[in-house]
């Protein structure tokens, strides 16, 4: 079974440009999460989809970040325009929970996309 896959694995862009990151969750997982790790700091929660709906986007840093999950399958995270402080590793994770009872459900992570803004 395929795991969570993320594209690209690494992206280098100039300040002011636009970048779109993609995440394909494990098939059948309703929950999809985006996290970000800035160099030397914690992995921070960005947002959470349940199917195609945004359940929680409290971690999104500002309106330059736009996440979508069309049809409840793959998700994209667009940064426009990118700033230097957006550099970091962006992780996607998916999980399968039933009825909101799943605090113990394992989240499966992708390899991450390393974004470098120069």
Partner 1 sequence: GNSVTQMEGPVTLSEEAFLTINCTYTATGYPSLFWYVQYPGEGLQLLLKATKADDKGSNKGFEATYRKETTSFHLEKGSVQVSDSAVYFCALSDRTQGGYSTLTFGKGTMLLVSP
Q: Give the interface with partner 1 as residue ranges (CB under 8 A).
A: 3-4, 31, 33, 35, 37, 40-45, 48, 50, 55-56, 91, 93, 97, 100-112
The CB-of-99 to partner 1 minimum distance in angstroms stands at 8
The CB-of-17 to partner 1 minimum distance in angstroms stands at 26
Give the whole-angstrom CA distance, residue 42 versus residue 89: 11
C-beta closer to partner 1: residue 4 or 21: 4
C-beta closer to partner 1: residue 78 or 114: 114
Strands (E) located in 1-118: 5-7, 10-13, 19-24, 31-37, 43-50, 53-56, 65-68, 75-79, 88-95, 108-109, 113-117
Give the whole-angstrom CA distance, residue 10 versus residue 111: 10
The CB-of-11 to partner 1 minimum distance in angstroms stands at 16
C-beta closer to partner 1: residue 6 or 86: 6
Tokens of 18: 């636009």
């Amino acid at each position: 079974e395929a795991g969570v896959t993320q594209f690209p694995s690494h992206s280098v862009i100039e300040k002011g440009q636009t970048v779109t990151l993609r995440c394909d969750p494990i098939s059948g997982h309703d929950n999809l999460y985006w996290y970000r790790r800035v160099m030397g700091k914690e992995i921070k929660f960005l947002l959470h989809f349940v199917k195609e709906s945004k359940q929680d986007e409290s971690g999104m840093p500002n309106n330059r970040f736009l996440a979508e999950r069309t049809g409840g399958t793959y998700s994209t995270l667009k940064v426009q325009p990118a700033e230097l402080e957006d550099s970091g590793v962006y992780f996607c994770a998916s999980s399968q929970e039933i009825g909101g009872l799943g605090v113990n459900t394992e989240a499966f992570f992708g390899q991450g996309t390393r974004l470098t803004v120069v």
